[in-house]
Structure 1
Amino acid sequence: MAADATWDYIIVGAGSAGCVLANRLTENGRYRVLLLEAGPKDSSFWIPMPVGFYKLLTSKTYNWGFVTEPEEGTGNRPIATPRGKTLGGSSAINGVLYVRGQPLDYDTWSQLGNRGWSYESVLPYFRKSETYTNGGDDSRGTDGPLGVTETTERHELLDAFVDAAEARGYPRNADYNNGDQEGFGYYQLTARGGRRVSTAKAFLHPVKTRANLTIETGAFATGLLFDGARAVGVSYTVDGQKREARAGREVILAAGAVQSPQLLELSGIGAPEVLKRQGIEVRHALPGVGENYRDHYGTRMRWRVTKPITLNELTRGPNLVREVIRWGLTGQGVLGYGAGIIFGFVKTRPELETPDVQFHLAHASYADAATRKLEKEPGMTLAVCPLRSESKGSIHIKSADPSVQPSIRGNFLSDPVDVAAIVEGMKIGRQIAEAAPLDPYRAFEMTPGPNCASDADFEAYARQTGQTLYHIVGTAKMGPVTDGQAVVDDRLRVHGVPGLRVVDASIMPTLVSGNTNAAAIMIGEKGSAMILEDARA
């Protein structure tokens, strides 16, 4: 215990896991909690609007604006890697898609030596966090803070795509989050009444007046404080003014898979060669910090559509005005769409037990993935993404100055398993798009286009045009001490550093099969429960 502590727990980062932690750790009234968030309050007009992610992903106010280092394997392009910079973190700027993943994902974590992280063990925490408004079986939650609903707005072109998938032999799936992921249908969203439900909206705002919870925005963490080997506090700045806060029980990093490892390294915890290169004294050697970086890397296929019924037309001029009014009054309409509208989870090889590729379909198209400016002519876009990337990169500091963004190296498509999956996924996507139910809508394939025919062509296109899906994980990997790359144990305590935990997506030892926000929220729930259990021990 720190003798001069003001707080019991300090949480660094009010993101997808951090907001859950702040809620659960203050619930019983026994513990004083300080929540530090570097960004501003979540007051933007665009945040409640699901389709507002188009604006937020390029916002300089609500997004950290990280980019990867250019790499030969992906056309020497810097690739945008947005991260939320506000209350709610990335759950406030993402595409609001709710995807738990597959039971296999969590059973794999358990098999790697992480006790209590099997699917059976984590399912109660998924259920605890959500209220699934569409019913479902007993795998779904009915009274949690997080609103989860199926996309309510239907569209003839989207329906036709699901029909086309079924015509090619792929099943429909009414609920891909109940443990059986394979098939096609409409995505589920972290939304209620057509409005985004970020973790700040669900977990933080309802409890922000608790006497034992203090929330500081604009609080940029610069390092950890120690008493000997033990972490006892956080140094940070507010409006350029240096501050320190001390925790009697624990410091909890929930800054995300980019900045949690960055803070560890800035504080002297990490691979000695990385720290010494930046003139940082090695406090505790932990070579796995910043390693094991994984992300979903996908590419997009586009088709011109024969009828003016796509978002390209519905979000222009008078049509847009009508949709804004409709959404404002009823929560209905195209402004309630997420980043993907139709999901698809498919197996690219018959011998696989579970899907290895995910599709996101939207009846919209844009030529430039960076600006996300919609085309004037009608179009549709299918994103193709391998689910369980085996390509691993790294995230490391490149300066002892906390304001300097770290070096992000994705190493995308470096593993042949990922290459084979994305190539086969693109072939399947083309086969579905060419099926009879889409004949009235499909004009022609714009990209990669008919000249893309061989496996080598598909691979080259994916390398030159692919983007990440902003699902950064793994950089503070969970695992037993015998795993030389593990950073935290199965109770999320940093190996060899008492008083310090990491509770966010960086602890994932492998990628989950789909969008990562649901898993990050679950980690916040389970991490909170373990912290409270250990406090009572």
Structure 2
Amino acid sequence: GEWRIEHQRLKWKVLEDFADACVQAGIPRTRDFNRGDNEGVDYFEVNQRSGWRWNTSKAFLRAAEKRPNLTLWHSTHVMELEMSAGEKPRCTGVRVERPGEGELTAHASREVILSAGAIGSPQLLQLSGIGPADLLREHDIPVVADLPGVGENLQDHLQIRSVYKVHGAKTLNTMANSLTGKARIGLEYLIKRSGPMSMAPSQLCLFTRSSEEYKHANIEYHVQPLSLDAFGQPLHDFPAITASVCNLNPTSRGTVRIRSRDSKTAPAIAPNYLSTEEDRKVAADSLRVTRRIAEQQAFAKYQPEEFKPGAQYQTDDELAKLAGDIGTTIFHPVGTTRMGREDDHMAVVDPKLRVRGVAGLRVVDAGVMPTITSGNTNSPTLMIAEKAASWILESK
């Protein structure tokens, strides 16, 4: 189909040895993470085409951009949804601001499809009078539909980024911190479309259990032959790997709530990571799993040194606190416009993604997931979109 999936076009010796260490630690090798039981270790399959990133624009829009019934507006700020009054309110369009044109209204003859993501969609709904009534009144927004679930139920995968210094290993830190190394990387990509420039955000993947009490894999690793203090920061000047681990099934729940009726004011995002005892326990145990892997014989030749969080931290409380200190989002927010049955008062959309109490409006993005997926969210979100497309066509 349109959504292209390929094997990665690179290998790293230090990652191969980390995978061997996983096997020694009791984690099996796998060649397919999508066989029902995803426990195991191997390289990620990636959304690429011959070493180039493959995205939704390339997959779905390029083939359709010449259609007469498709117009794309970029650099356009959506301000709010337009609503008509009545016994059952109807969404009739969207009000936007375009460079050089000012404010405009795009009118819908049939439906408006809101796909602004698990952060943007609840913000726009709230700005348009759809959401918790008390929150809307606080900002002097007329209540169109009192839906208490809008902006609630936020879930995300918190990645806990352990960094290990290694000795005698080739990593991106050392390769990319010299002009010669950068030239070699560029040349390999130019000739073969392979190597570090073809790297996806993470290379080695493993699913396993944080403890024996779990019957299925409940944590996922994204392992990279590099390290840095934070996203966007320079690579460290020493060889290192990063073994990021996330709790696949967090029990913590957060919120997305507007702070102003001004659409250009960012909403308040409160993920509430590690707010439950179970999530703190999984975080501490997952750091111990990382250590157990790094201690295996297959990885011993690199003399791994735990740079973050630091081997001196051992207790559950210490590790849970450090997990919060070194943890970051893995960009998997979901759940803030959850779908549900008619008797679920916190559900925002029905099983066909139509907004409760409002005609002519659907939400189609990761926000509709009632519970976060036990893995990455990109492809599942596209599956939601394809399913929604079939429902929209049926409703003609």
Residues in 2 aligned to 1:443 and 1:433: alpha-carbon distance in whole angstroms: 7
User: Which amino acid in structure 1 is aligned with residue 191 of structure 2?
Assistant: L
Matches within 5 A, 1:4-15: none
- Counterpart of 1:397 in structure 2 is 258
Query: Does 2:277 align with 1:416?
Result: yes
Query: Does 2:38 align with 1:181?
Result: yes
- Counterpart of 1:197 in structure 2 is 54
What are the superposed Cα offsets for residues 108-159 of structure 1, whole Å, 9 maximum, x if unpaired?
xxxxxxxxxxxxxxxxxxxxxxxxxxxxxxxxxxxx1111112221111111
What are the superposed Cα offsets for residues 228-276 of structure 1, whole Å, 9 maximum, x if unpaired?
2111111111016111111111000011111111111111011011111
Task: List structure 1 segments (4+ residues) > 6 angstroms apart after TM superposition.
Answer: none
User: Which amino acid in structure 2 is aligned with residue 340 of structure 1?
Assistant: S
Query: Any stretches of 5+ residues in structure 2 without a counterpart?
Result: none
Pick from 172, 195, 215: which aligns with 1:333?
195
What are the superposed Cα offsets for residues 96-117 of structure 1, whole Å, 9 maximum, x if unpaired?
xxxxxxxxxxxxxxxxxxxxxx
Q: Secondary structure at the match of 2:322?
A: helix
Query: Does 2:373 align with 1:529?
Result: no
Query: Does 2:158 align with 1:315?
Result: no
CA root-mean-square deviation: 1.2
Q: Percentage identity across aligned positions?
A: 37
Deviation at 1:370, TM superposition (A): 4.2
* Higher alpha-carbon deviation: 461-470 or 267-276: 461-470
Pick from 357, 360, 373: which aligns with 1:499?
360
Query: Does 2:85 align with 1:224?
Result: no
- Counterpart of 1:12 in structure 2 is none
Query: Does 2:342 align with 1:485?
Result: no
Residues in 2 aligned to 1:406 and 1:319: alpha-carbon distance in whole angstroms: 42
Deviation at 1:196, TM superposition (A): 0.3
What are the superposed Cα offsets for residues 160-190 of structure 1, whole Å, 9 maximum, x if unpaired?
1111110111101101023321111101111
Deviation at 1:520, TM superposition (A): 0.9
Deviation at 1:534, TM superposition (A): 2.0
Residues in 1 aligned to 2:212 and 2:360: alpha-carbon distance in whole angstroms: 48
Pick from 418, 434, 438: which aligns with 2:295?
434
Deviation at 1:377, TM superposition (A): 1.0
- Counterpart of 2:159 in structure 1 is 298
- Counterpart of 1:161 in structure 2 is 18
Q: Secondary structure at the match of 1:364?
A: coil
User: Which amino acid in structure 2 is aligned with residue 461 of structure 1?
Assistant: L
Is this contact kept in 1: 2:80–2:128, CA < 8 A? yes
What are the superposed Cα offsets for residues 285-322 of structure 1, whole Å, 9 maximum, x if unpaired?
11110000111112111111111510001213121122
Residues in 2 aligned to 1:351 and 1:412: alpha-carbon distance in whole angstroms: 22
* Higher alpha-carbon deviation: 419-428 or 320-329: 320-329
Pick from 93, 102, 106: which aligns with 1:233?
93
Residues in 1 aligned to 2:211 and 2:314: alpha-carbon distance in whole angstroms: 19
Matches within 5 A, 1:72-471: 144-228=1-85, 229-239=89-99, 241-316=102-177, 317-366=179-228, 368-471=229-332
Residues in 2 aligned to 1:376 and 1:225: alpha-carbon distance in whole angstroms: 53
Residues in 1 aligned to 2:214 and 2:69: alpha-carbon distance in whole angstroms: 50
User: Which amino acid in structure 1 is aligned with residue 389 of structure 2?
Assistant: S
Residues in 2 aligned to 1:202 and 1:484: alpha-carbon distance in whole angstroms: 37
Matches within 5 A, 1:41-56: none
Deviation at 1:384, TM superposition (A): 1.4
Is this contact kept in 1: 2:169–2:302, CA < 8 A? no
What are the superposed Cα offsets for residues 69-112 of structure 1, whole Å, 9 maximum, x if unpaired?
xxxxxxxxxxxxxxxxxxxxxxxxxxxxxxxxxxxxxxxxxxxx
Is this contact kept in 2: 1:357–1:422, CA < 8 A? no
Residues in 2 aligned to 1:296 and 1:256: alpha-carbon distance in whole angstroms: 16
User: Which amino acid in structure 2 is aligned with residue 449 of structure 1?
Assistant: G
Is this contact kept in 2: 1:493–1:502, CA < 8 A? yes
Is this contact kept in 2: 1:308–1:377, CA < 8 A? no
Q: Secondary structure at the match of 1:530?
A: helix
* Higher alpha-carbon deviation: 344-353 or 194-203: 344-353
What are the superposed Cα offsets for residues 462-516 of structure 1, whole Å, 9 maximum, x if unpaired?
1222111111111101101211110000100001101000000000101101221
Paired positions, count: 391
- Counterpart of 2:371 in structure 1 is 510
